C-alpha cells in the first residue's frame, strides 16, 4: 500500500529538533523477536508499551520505549526479510490529546498551558502525539507496513492483539489494562477541540486520517 501524504510537515523555526533527527538518535532497536521472527514498530502514543510488555517482556518505565522506524530497523538488522512486521495506529485527534498530556507530564510545556495553545503554537507537531505515521511505517520503496492494528480495537471482540498472541504462541490476559497512563481520567478527545483546532490537525494529518478511515466521532 502506497502512502501519499497530501502535506509535508513544515520545518519549525523555534529550535526544536525535527522528527527525523529525534528518531535517528535513538538507541539500538529492541522490538524484535529473532526466535519467533517478528518485529514491532512502535509509533508513539499507540499502546506500544502494552505490546512491549506482553510480546517482549519489557516493563513500562519512562523512556523505556524504542521508536525506530521500519527503515531504520532494516538498516540495523540483517536477515529479517521474512519476519512478520506489525504496528499499531490510533485516531490522530485522540493521539494528539494524549501527546499533550505526555508533554505536560515531561514538563516540556507549562503545566497550565492550554490544549488550544498547544495546537496554535505548533508545539504539537513535534510532540509524541503529533509525529506523522509515515515516518515510522514507510519502507524505502515508499510502501508502508501492511499489518496495522487499531488501538481502538483492543479489548473488543475483534481484538487483533489476541490473534497475534495465538499466532506467536504468547500467553495474554483476556483483557488489557493501560500500562503507561500519561494522565488521570480524561474527557473524550472531542471535548478538547474547537472547530479551528480540529481543522488544524486535519490539515496536517488528513492523509492518515483518511488512510486509516478515522472520523471525529
Q: Which of 74, 84, 1 is nearest to 39 (CA)?
A: 84
Q: Which of 98, 190, 83, 77 is nearest to 147 (CA)?
A: 83
Strand-pairing partners, residue 104, are none
- Compute and round to an integer the Cα radius of gyration of the chain: 17
Cell of 180: 503507561
Q: How far apart (Å, rounded) are the C-alpha atoms in residues 87 and 151?
A: 10
pTM across the whole model: 0.81
Mean pLDDT for all residues in the chain = 82
pLDDT (tens digit per residue) in 51-88? 999 999 887 765 556 788 999 999 988 899 999 999 99
Model confidence at 160, in pLDDT bands (50, 70, 90)?
confident
pLDDT (tens digit per residue) in 163-192? 999 999 999 998 887 766 555 568 999 999
Cell of 123: 508545539
> Where are the domains positioned within the chain?
19-211
Q: How far apart (Å, rounded) are the C-alpha atoms in residues 196 and 200?
A: 6
Q: Which residues contact residue 211 at a Cβ distance below 8 angstroms, ignoring those fewer than 6 apart?
A: 3
Q: Which residues of 34-49 are buried (b: 16+ CB within 10 A; e: fewer)?
A: eeeebbbbbbbbbbbb
Domain 19-211 has CATH 1.10.287: no
Amino acid at each position: 500500500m502506497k502512502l501519499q501524504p497530501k502535506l509535508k510537515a513544515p520545518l519549525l523555526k523555534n529550535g526544536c529538533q525535527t522528527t527525523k533527527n529525534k528518531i535517528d538518535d535513538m538507541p539500538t532497536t529492541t522490538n524484535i523477536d529473532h526466535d519467533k521472527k517478528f518485529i514491532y514498530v512502535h509509533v508513539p502514543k499507540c499502546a506500544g508499551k502494552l505490546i512491549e510488555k506482553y510480546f517482549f517482556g519489557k516493563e513500562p518505565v519512562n523512556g523505556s520505549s524504542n521508536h525506530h522506524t521500519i527503515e531504520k530497523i532494516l538498516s540495523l538488522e540483517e536477515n529479517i526479510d521474512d519476519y512478520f512486521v506489525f504496528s499499531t495506529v490510533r485516531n490522530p485527534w485522540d493521539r494528539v490529546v494524549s501527546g499533550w498530556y505526555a508533554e505536560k507530564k515531561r514538563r516540556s510545556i507549562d503545566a497550565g498551558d492550554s490544549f488550544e495553545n498547544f495546537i496554535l503554537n505548533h508545539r504539537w507537531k513535534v510532540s509524541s502525539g503529533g509525529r506523522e505515521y509515515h515516518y515510522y511505517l514507510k519502507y524505502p520503496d515508499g510502501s508502508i507496513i501492511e499489518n496495522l492494528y487499531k488501538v481502538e480495537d483492543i479489548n473488543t471482540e475483534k481484538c487483533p492483539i489476541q490473534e497475534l498472541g495465538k499466532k506467536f504462541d504468547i500467553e495474554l490476559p483476556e483483557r488489557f489494562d493501560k500500562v503507561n497512563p500519561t494522565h488521570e481520567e480524561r474527557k473524550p478527545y472531542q471535548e478538547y477541540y474547537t472547530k479551528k483546532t480540529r481543522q488544524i490537525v486535519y490539515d496536517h494529518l488528513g492523509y492518515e486520517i483518511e488512510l486509516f478511515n478515522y472520523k471525529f466521532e
